[in-house]
Chains A and B, each alone.
Chain A
């Protein structure tokens, strides 16, 4: 069974940093594109970032480019999202998703940016 499980969310002050993790199982992680999607409270879905099956090809939404970095460790079946210079508008549930067509989603981890 395909599973992706996010962790690492929490409360952080504006300007701070946080690293999210996504542990994958039930599929050959190294063969799949992986993405992050977020949802601010009461709002719609926003695609954040993608990393291709090779570890160095990544793309970002304009709203996070230059502040967030996606990476992966295929030996650990784990996806990461390093978030720096966090702003109040980054407050959201962050979802990890499998595949270029976002076919499977985790349950999400909540990031709250507030002083």
Chain B
């Protein structure tokens, strides 16, 4: 199985900050990676697909990059509604695997 190592597991930041979350795959997955945002009690929502393509309706302050084994999600200027938990997902090979999640909290 492909392991997805996501870091950090938690992050405290302020409104307006730039933050970066990283996922590392245990083997190459091309660009078969998505990023999801989950708020408490809600279903996850996809933000980024194919590693760097922005989902329709998602603000442009979110961006993704990477290919192969190293991927990043960047939020350029944090807004109050961005405080949530973020997950990466590899969909290159079954079984699909998620990163452990990054909880983004208000400083």
Q: What residues make up the interface of A, taking CB atoms closer than 8 Å to B?
A: 35, 44-47, 50, 59-62, 95, 100-108
Contact = CB atoms under 8 A, between A and B. Distances in A.
Given A35-B96, A61-B95, A62-B95, A102 B87 contact: no
Interface residues of B, number: 23
Interface of B: 1, 34, 36, 38, 42-46, 49-50, 55, 87, 89, 91, 94-101
B44 A103 contact: no
A102 B43 contact: no
A84 B50 CA distance: 35
Given A44-B100, A45-B87, A62-B1, A103 B95 contact: no
Nearest to B89: A102
A47 B96 contact: yes
9 contacts: A44-B87, A44-B99, A60-B95, A102-B34, A102-B46, A102-B89, A103-B55, A105-B44, A107-B43
Contacts of A107: 42-43
B104 to A, nearest CB: 14
Contact of A59 (B44, B55, B94, B99): B94
The 9 closest A-B pairs by CB, nearest first: A47-B96, A59-B94, A105-B43, A45-B98, A44-B101, A61-B95, A101-B91, A44-B100, A101-B49
Given A44-B98, A47-B96, A95 B43 contact: yes
Contacts of A60: 95
Contacts of B50: 101
